[in-house]
Chains A and B, each alone.
Chain A
Amino acid sequence: MIEVKSLTKYYGPVRAVDDISFQVKKGEILGFLGPNAAGKTTTMRILTCYLKPTFGTATVCGFDVHKNSLELRRRIGYLPENVPIYPEMRVRTYLHFWAEIKGIPGKKRRGEVNRVAERCGLENVLSRPTGKLSKGFRQRVGLAQALIGDPEVLILDEPTVGLDPKQIIEVRNLIKSFSKEKTILLSTHILPEVSMTCGRVIIINEGKLTAIDTPENLDRHLRKSHRVIMEVKGACESVTHILEHVDGVQAVRPLRIRENFFSYTLDTDIGKEVRPLLAEAVIKNGFNLLEIRPLEMSLEEIFLKLTTQEAGGKGR
């Protein structure tokens, strides 16, 4: 559905997007992940024909951003980052205006506006001015706008930014509900969002594509160590000493919980089950083992690792 080939965009001398290539298949939700100013918005703007790439090509539904921009734009619904609205227009007139612009014939316009409004839960605010809506409703108006004309591809730039937790869940569910019929490309810098909504993730940093895979695979491949948490009663120094000498342990970080009780976070070698050895070592030396459990390394850490490695590689 979406095909991007060695896309590069310069803003003057600044390279905002650097040689990015990827593909999105029909019916897929692809998450675009990266720190702020990584080039997510720029890439999306190129795909929606708001900007022209300096080098490279991109096609959506087989239409090129240069040659068939109008046809391409007919097939995408776009939600820009800050959900631009005309504040003086009411929600109904606003949606109606975009239905006109997107070429919905006069007779069907009213039905189309009602359809997208219902889909996004806007029935009760249709006569409110868009400028007076809360952030959550404004976001839904933006989504409704993107849905007008039933486009095949949705491009959503940070759809949940600035919402409260309840609204985030609502918008996320809304996006998931589209996933059956549409191909979706969404960007975010909130990591749990990606593992919750997206089938595949692209990690992008400083304009470069760092990784592209499913959230699970990313998790598996990029993990350099396992992590174990232990709680042990006894003197910290001696326990640390004992744990450090267990085979497969890379590092031990103790944390005091209360008098004589310490929690230890251990990095252990990958592919090795060290928990029995750890338990044995503790007990053998006469300490009380209160807890031992594996700690999942979150996507956040993987992401942080990926993006900081990249910066380090450039000699900063």
Chain B
Amino acid sequence: MRVFSIFKREIKAYFVSPIAYVILAIFLIIIGFFFYNMFMYFNLRSMQMAQYPYMARGMSLNEMVVRPLFQNMSVIALLVIPMLTMRLYAEEKKSGTIELLFTAPLSDVETAIGKFLAAFFMFFLMSGLTVLYPFIMSRVSTIEWGPVWSGYIGFLLMGGAFISIGLAISTLTGNQIVAALLTFGMLLFFWMIGWSSEFVSGAGGNVLSYLSLIEHFDDFAKGVCDTRDIVYYLSVIFLGLFTTVQMLESSKWRA
């Protein structure tokens, strides 16, 4: 019940300030642009292929539009989610309302979950609106919906992981810009960490590639819902929330 009160207030706060509209607009315009380009390129290739039917076998909307679209969406999510999470605690710290929140009969777990869900709802809204693009494709051509849905499941899980990292980081500072930058840096680092798995031999390389936030997403975009990947994202979400609560508790002892 109290979680829901926090959730409601956070959602309202997003929509009262221009932040929700700006983020939604930027996300949808950029994804729309990507979609347009990839779809038109596919169109162009199909017309070329029409003259050589034997080469047209590998042509698939899922492989050539949906999968790259998801990859692009994940990059944009990396840029946009820090903007979504930066205010969650940082704003309350700055304005002092955190003092009321902490002295109200409400546990830190409840505020953390309420705030997480609010940011996740925003992200869900953003992703939901992009379903328009596969829908357009399905009207003019045929696509397989299976990989599309699995891609969305993966995208939401990945977004959830990003948000819970951002949430934990926003407890660290009263400055929203610092929170956003730290989150961005952290996400980018765990994004790229998989790259070095190529030349780190043995178990070390596997660990690095397992830790990478993006490696796990690619399976979903291909249409594979592996429990390993689901467990990975869920544990990152849990870890982020757990860290958030620990940080809040420790701030009571320090200052």
Within the complex, what minimum Cβ distance (angstroms) separates A129 from chain B?
A: 10
The answer to whether B107 touches A84 (Cβ under 8 A) is no
Shortest Cβ distance from B111 into chain A, in angstroms?
A: 9
**Per-residue B-contact encoding for A217-237, CB less than 8 Å = 1, 0 else:** 000000000000000000000
- Residue on B with the closest CB to A77? B103
Question: Interface digits, A35-55 against B, CB 8 Å rule (1 contact, 0 not)?
Answer: 000000000010011111000
21 contacts between A and B (CB under 8 A): A11-B254, A50-B99, A50-B252, A51-B253, A52-B252, A71-B105, A78-B99, A80-B100, A84-B96, A84-B99, A84-B100, A86-B9, A86-B95, A87-B95, A88-B17, A89-B9, A89-B12, A100-B1, A101-B2, A101-B105, A102-B104
Choose among B13, B96, B106, B255 the residue that contacts A88 (Cβ–Cβ < 8 A).
B13
Query: Which residues from B are CB-within-8-Å of A52?
Result: 252-253
**CB within 8 A of B104: which of A11, A45, A101?**
A101
CB of B53 to closest CB in A, whole Å? 61
Given A88-B17, A98-B100, A73-B105 contact (CB < 8 Å)? yes
Q: Which of A140-156 contact B (CB under 8 A)?
A: 145
B2 pairs with A84, CB closer than 8 A = no
Is A293 part of the binding interface, using a Cβ–Cβ cutoff of 8 Å?
no
Q: When the two chains form their complex, are residues A76 and B2 in contact, meaning their CB atoms are under 8 A apart?
A: no
Contact with A along B102-123 (1 / 0, CB 8 A): 1111110000000000000000
- Across the A-B interface, how many residue pairs have beta carbons closer than 8 Å? 72
Q: How far is the CB of B98 from chain A (nearest CB, A)?
A: 8
* Residues of the A chain whose Cβ atoms lie less than 8 Å from the Cβ of B252: 49-52
CA separation between A101 and B254, bound complex, in Å?
A: 26
Residue A289 at the chain B interface, CB threshold 8 Å: no
B5 beta carbon closer than 8 Å to chain A = yes
**Interface residue total, chain B, C-beta cutoff 8 A:** 26
Is the beta-carbon distance between A80 and B105 smaller than 8 angstroms?
no
CA distance A101 to B10 in the complex (A): 13
Q: Once the chains are docked, how many angstroms separate the CA of A102 from the CA of B103?
A: 10
Q: Which of B145-189 contact A (CB under 8 A)?
A: none
**Nearest Cβ in chain B — how far from A13, in angstroms?**
12
The answer for the CA separation of A98 and B97 in the assembled complex, in Å, is: 11
Whether a CB of chain A sits under 8 angstroms from the CB of B44 is no
B140 to chain A: which residues have CB within 8 Å?
none
Tell me, yes or no, whether B50 is within 8 Å of chain A by CB: no
CA distance A80 to B93 in the complex (A): 13
User: How distant is the Cα of A123 from the Cα of B97 in the complex, in angstroms?
Assistant: 23
Is chain B's interface secondary structure helix, strand, loop, or mixed overall? helix
Asked if A76 meets B103 with Cβ closer than 8 Å, knowing A11-B255, A52-B252, A100-B2, the reply is yes
Q: Name the residue of chain B whose CB is nearest to the CB of A79.
A: B100
Docked Cα-Cα span, A87 to B107, in Å, equals 24
Nearest CB on B from A175, distance (A): 19
Chain A residue numbers with a CB within 8 Å of B103 are 48-50, 73, 76, 78, 80
B16 at the A/B interface (Cβ < 8 Å)? yes
Interface flags for B235-255 (1: CB within 8 Å of A; 0: not) read 000000000000000001111
Chain A residues positioned under 8 Å from B2 (CB to CB) = 100-101, 103
**C-alpha spacing A82/B5, complex, angstroms:** 24
Chain B residues close to A by CB (< 8 Å): 1-2, 5-6, 9, 12-13, 16-17, 95-107, 252-255
Inter-chain contacts of A82 with B (CB < 8 A):
96
**What distance in Å separates the Cβ of B88 from its nearest Cβ neighbour in chain A?**
13
5 pairs of A and B residues whose beta carbons are closest in the complex = A84-B96, A100-B5, A48-B103, A84-B97, A88-B16
Residues 74-123 of A contacting B (Cβ, < 8 Å): 74, 76, 78, 80, 82, 84-89, 97-98, 100-103
Contact, CB under 8 Å: A80 / B106:
no
| Cα-based distance from A145 to B96 in the complex (angstroms) | 14
Q: Are B99 and A97 in contact (CB under 8 A)?
A: no
Answer yes or no: A169 CB below 8 A from chain B CBs: no
Q: Which residue of A lies closest to B98 (CB)?
A: A84
A295 within 8 A of B: no
- Residue among A51, A85, A145 making CB contact with B95, cutoff 8 Å: A85
- Among the interface residues B17, B102, B105, which one has the most CB atoms of the partner chain A within 10 A? B105
In whole angstroms, what is the CA distance A52 to B105 when docked? 16
Nearest-neighbour CB distance to chain B for A134, whole angstroms, equals 18
Chain A nearest CB: distance from B186 CB in Å? 26
Residues of B within 8 A of A78 (CB): 99-100, 103
Contact A80 B96 (CB under 8 A): yes
A190 within 8 A of B: no
Within the assembled complex, what's the spacing in Å between the Cα atoms of A86 and B9?
A: 10
Query: Is A297 engaged at the interface, CB distance under 8 Å to the other chain?
Result: no
List 9 additional contacts besides A85-B95, A87-B95; criterion CB under 8 Å.
A11-B255, A49-B102, A50-B99, A50-B103, A71-B105, A84-B96, A86-B95, A88-B13, A101-B5
- The residue in chain A whose Cβ has the minimal distance to the Cβ of B15 is A88
Using Cβ atoms and an 8 Å threshold, which residues of chain A touch B101? 101
- Identify the closest chain A residue to B92 (Cβ): A84
